[in-house]
């Protein structure tokens, strides 16, 4: 049985993330990790804050804090939000860790030994007003490709094209805003990706047919355009230092590695952090080193991160000439938009993850986001769609089913699961239907098709309502008490089944549903389709309680309040 290594794109340290960031990486990774754990698989889910680079320095400067202090506070703030969303990381690390410094420098030395790093003199933007060379992200201007006037010197976030600062039209310093910029000569380290192109092409070719079309098409586009040698050092005060034992002159000048060089290495380093903090954990290297045949590695990320993880980091790993684990499957996502536009803090448009938790419990968001994940295309968040989904799927289909079954049974049969008559044809048909839908649910989760998995889960919930409507125990009890008791006992077993298999999507609610039954030996982690057919995990006589309302319906007033606070459809 292969072990499963799962990583999601590292959230950048600067600012709380919006719902699109959540559904584009961390949340689907969590759903998948939870599902595999429930199936008995050996899983390690690793993530971390990405803490180096220009925006961290600028944000710290704006806050009047030392950059290390700013990053420590921001890491804790982000981690609190992810805990609130019930993201079950095995470890959530920091790219500023000593472990990442150690492993990043090791990678750089090995690349240099193997002839894949070269020191070059380049001409770089210098700001007399700031008294320093400006790293690419310290230069802002107009993108020459799409005309976006807030493009950064490394990449335009509007069209996602990779840039050099000298490409920008009307460039300015991001520190002082000065347009009095010069171009001077300085030295940097370059990763010779051009020498690794053929190897990367062969590696991608061996995997791309298995990957989603989005992942493979982005990788292929970059390879078709050709891999260019890329500067992997920057003039910053904050980052992984260039090692003095290998490049003494550059180290003396205070050069640090480019954030996109050290950030993917943090997946490895965070695993070492996890191991170092708890000696009971198995050796971290068993997940990452000489593990090609024993570990299945799945990455989750939005499309803007795909080139770095399907081309640039694989080039790094190949060039090191050591047996580091490379990704097997890259699950990529398109954008989640807000009424078709961008989430924007400054324009107060869209919901950010901390605000989401202030409004409603995490399970509302978890279910909606996964059920509408932007897998095949961009998807749009609207309050109308969110409200309709919560009310129909969560409040009516699942929540109302649980409440009406348990409340009615308590009222007519007391605080224990009633016995009633033996299961009949209706229960047999229900068991077959549940087994079929559960198999479909498993199949879609195994394939990492999250919208389809949500649809199968919703169908499982709907099957219980259809059964209840068919049997109508509120009428049945008038003429056949044992028959009504059978119907309610069967429905309670459905509730328990739902609690088990819904956990990847709605873990807090699943726990509340499961705890409604006082089952002394309730140790099931999953229910197979064959086992589900019998619907007998909760026997007659089991004490139960009626939990509080699982999902409150959202009103028209709620809808209008949310739209007013966060922005609705653009004018």
Within a domain: residue 177? no
pLDDT bin (cut points 50, 70, 90) of residue 330 is very high
Q: 473 and 491 share a domain?
A: yes
Q: Is 323 helix (H, G, I), strand (E, B) or coil?
A: coil
Gap between the Cα atoms of 27 and 367, Å rounded: 10
Give the residue, 366 or 346, on which the prediction is more confident: 366
Q: 290 and 347 share a domain?
A: no
Q: 307 and 372 share a domain?
A: no
Closest CA relative to residue 317, chosen from 459, 166, 110, 561: 110
Q: 231 and 290 share a domain?
A: yes
Residue 310 counted as an annotated binding residue: no
Within a domain: residue 183? no
Residue 345 counted as an annotated binding residue: yes
Within a domain: residue 148? no
Q: 289 and 355 share a domain?
A: no
Name the helix (H) or strand (E) containing 239.
none
**What's the pLDDT at 207?**
94
Gap between the Cα atoms of 353 and 17, Å rounded: 6
Q: What is the average pLDDT across 347-366? A: 92
Task: State the angle between helix axes of 507-514 and 481-501 in degrees (0 to 180), rounded to the nearest 10.
Answer: 140
3-state helix, strand, coil in the chain (%, to 5): 50, 15, 35
Residue 71 counted as an annotated binding residue: no
Query: Which residues, other chains included, contact 508 with Cβ-Cβ below 8 Å and sequence gap of 6+?
Result: 86, 361, 362, 363
Q: 445 and 531 share a domain?
A: yes
pLDDT above 80 (res 132):
yes
pLDDT bin (cut points 50, 70, 90) of residue 285 is very high
What tokens does 278 get?
Answer: 């708890």
Query: Which residues, other chains included, contact 199 with Cβ-Cβ below 8 Å and sequence gap of 6+?
Result: 315, 318
Task: Give the pairing type, strands 233-234 and 336-338.
Answer: unpaired
Closest CA relative to residue 362, chosen from 500, 507, 501: 507
Q: What is the average pLDDT across 152-179? A: 89
Q: What is the average pLDDT across 508-513? A: 97
Asked if residues 566 and 339 have their Cβ atoms less than 8 Å apart, the reply is: no
pLDDT above 70 (res 1):
no
Asked if residues 366 and 353 have their Cβ atoms less than 8 Å apart, the reply is: no
pLDDT above 80 (res 401):
yes
The mean pLDDT of the chain is 94
Gap between the Cα atoms of 503 and 505, Å rounded: 5
Residue 159 counted as an annotated binding residue: yes
Q: 351 and 282 share a domain?
A: no
Gap between the Cα atoms of 353 and 350, Å rounded: 10
- SS3 annotation, 54-102: HHHHHHHHHHCCCHHHHHHHHHHHHHHHHHHCCCCCCEEEECCCHHHHH
Q: 294 and 424 share a domain?
A: no
Q: Please give the distance of CA 291 from its chain centroid, rounded to a whole number.
A: 24
Q: What is the average pLDDT across 32-42? A: 97
Within a domain: residue 128? no
Q: 392 and 513 share a domain?
A: yes
CATH number at residue 320: 3.40.50.620
Q: What is the average pLDDT across 229-253? A: 95
* Parent domain of 102: 3-116+192-333
Gap between the Cα atoms of 16 and 416, Å rounded: 46
Q: Is 48 helix (H, G, I), strand (E, B) or coil?
A: strand
CATH number at residue 430: 1.10.730.10
Percent of the residues in the chain that have a pLDDT greater than 70, as a whole number: 99
Gap between the Cα atoms of 174 and 137, Å rounded: 8
Asked if residues 505 and 495 have their Cβ atoms less than 8 Å apart, the reply is: no
What's the whole-model pTM score? 0.93
pLDDT above 80 (res 19):
yes
Within a domain: residue 269? yes
Gap between the Cα atoms of 469 and 448, Å rounded: 33
- Domain boundary pick from 333, 350, 378: 333
Task: Give the pairing type, strands 169-173 and 139-142.
Answer: antiparallel
- Domain boundary pick from 304, 333, 362: 333
Gap between the Cα atoms of 44 and 33, Å rounded: 8
Q: 327 and 357 share a domain?
A: no
**What's the pLDDT at 557?**
96
pLDDT above 80 (res 282):
no
Q: What is the pLDDT of residues 49-64, one digit of tens each?
A: 999 988 898 899 889 9
Gap between the Cα atoms of 9 and 301, Å rounded: 5
Residue-level length of the chain: 571
Gap between the Cα atoms of 170 and 143, Å rounded: 9
Q: 368 and 476 share a domain?
A: yes
Within a domain: residue 132? no
- Domain boundary pick from 271, 304, 333: 333
Closest CA relative to residue 93, chosen from 284, 250, 286: 284
Sign of the C-alpha dihedral, residues 262, 263, 264, 265? positive
Within a domain: residue 181? no
DSSP 8-state code for residue 548: S
CA distances from 463 to 130, 302, 366 (A): 66, 34, 22
- Kindly tell me the number of DSSP H helices and DSSP E strands found in the chain: 24, 16
pLDDT above 90 (res 476):
yes
**Domain count along the chain:** 2
Within a domain: residue 98? yes
**What's the pLDDT at 570?**
63
**What's the pLDDT at 251?**
96
Q: 561 and 457 share a domain?
A: yes
Asked if residues 181 and 125 have their Cβ atoms less than 8 Å apart, the reply is: yes
CA distances from 373 to 190, 315, 379, 451 (A): 37, 30, 7, 6
**What's the pLDDT at 345?**
66
pLDDT above 90 (res 164):
no
Asked if residues 89 and 300 have their Cβ atoms less than 8 Å apart, the reply is: no
């Amino acid at each position: 049985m292969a072990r499963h290594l799962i990583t999601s794109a590292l959230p950048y340290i600067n600012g709380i993330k919006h719902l699109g960031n959540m559904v584009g990486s961390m949340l689907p990774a969590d759903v998948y990790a939870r599902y595999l754990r429930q199936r008995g698989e050996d899983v390690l889910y690793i993530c971390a804050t990405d803490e180096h680079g220009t925006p961290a320095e600028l944000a710290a400067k704006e806050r009047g804090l030392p950059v290390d202090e700013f990053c420590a506070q921001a890491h804790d703030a982000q981690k609190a939000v992810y805990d609130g969303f019930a993201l079950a990381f095995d470890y959530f690390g920091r790219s500023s860790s000593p472990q990442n410094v150690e492993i990043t420098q090791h990678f750089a030395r090995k690349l240099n030994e193997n002839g894949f790093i070269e020191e070059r003199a380049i001409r770089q933007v210098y700001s007399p007003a700031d008294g320093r060379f400006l790293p690419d992200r310290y230069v802002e201007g107009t993108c020459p490709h799409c005309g976006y006037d807030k493009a950064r010197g490394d990449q335009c976030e509007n069209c996602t094209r990779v840039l050099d600062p000298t490409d920008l039209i009307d460039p300015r310093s991001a520190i002082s805003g000065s347009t009095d910029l010069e171009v001077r000569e300085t030295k940097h380290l370059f990763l010779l990706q051009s020498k690794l192109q053929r190897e990367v092409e062969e590696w991608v070719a061996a995997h791309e047919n298995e990957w989603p079309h989005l992942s493979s098409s982005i990788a292929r586009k970059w390879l078709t355009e050709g891999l260019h040698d890329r500067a992997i050092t920057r003039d910053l005060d904050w980052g992984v230092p260039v090692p003095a034992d290998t490049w003494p002159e550059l180290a003396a000048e205070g050069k640090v590695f480019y954030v996109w060089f050290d950030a993917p290495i943090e997946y490895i380093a965070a695993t070492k952090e996890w191991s170092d903090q708890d000696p009971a954990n198995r050796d971290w290297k068993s997940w990452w080193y000489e593990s090609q045949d024993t570990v299945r590695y799945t990455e989750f990320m939005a499309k803007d991160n795909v080139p770095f993880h399907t081309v640039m980091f694989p080039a790094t790993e190949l060039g090191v000439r050591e047996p580091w684990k490379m990704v097997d499957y890259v699950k990529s996502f398109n954008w989640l938009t807000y009424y078709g536009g961008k989430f924007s803090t400054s324009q107060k448009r869209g919901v950010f993850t901390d605000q989401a938790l202030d409004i409603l419990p995490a399970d509302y968001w978890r279910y909606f986001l996964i059920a509408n994940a932007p897998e095949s295309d961009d998807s749009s968040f609207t309050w109308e769609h969110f409200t309709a989904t919560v009310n129909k799927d969560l409040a009516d289909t699942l929540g109302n089913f649980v409440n009406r079954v348990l409340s009615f049974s308590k009222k007519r049969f007391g605080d224990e699961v009633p016995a009633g008559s033996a299961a009949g044809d209706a229960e047999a048909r229900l068991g077959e239907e549940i087994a079929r839908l559960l198999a479909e649910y498993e199949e879609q989760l195994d394939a990492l098709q999250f919208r389809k998995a949500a649809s199968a889960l919703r169908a499982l919930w709907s099957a219980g309502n259809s059964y209840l409507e068919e049997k109508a125990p509120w009428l049945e009890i008038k003429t056949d008490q044992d028959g009504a008791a059978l119907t309610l006992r069967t429905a309670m077993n459905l509730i328990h089944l739902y609690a088990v298999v819904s956990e990847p999507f709605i873990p807090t609610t699943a726990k509340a549903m499961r705890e409604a039954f006082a089952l002394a030996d309730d140790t099931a982690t999953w229910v197979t389709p064959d086992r589900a057919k019998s619907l007998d995990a909760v026997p007659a006589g089991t004490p139960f309680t009626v939990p509080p309302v699982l999902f409150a319906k959202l009103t028209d007033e709620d809808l209008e309040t949310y739209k007013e606070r966060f922005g609705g459809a653009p004018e």
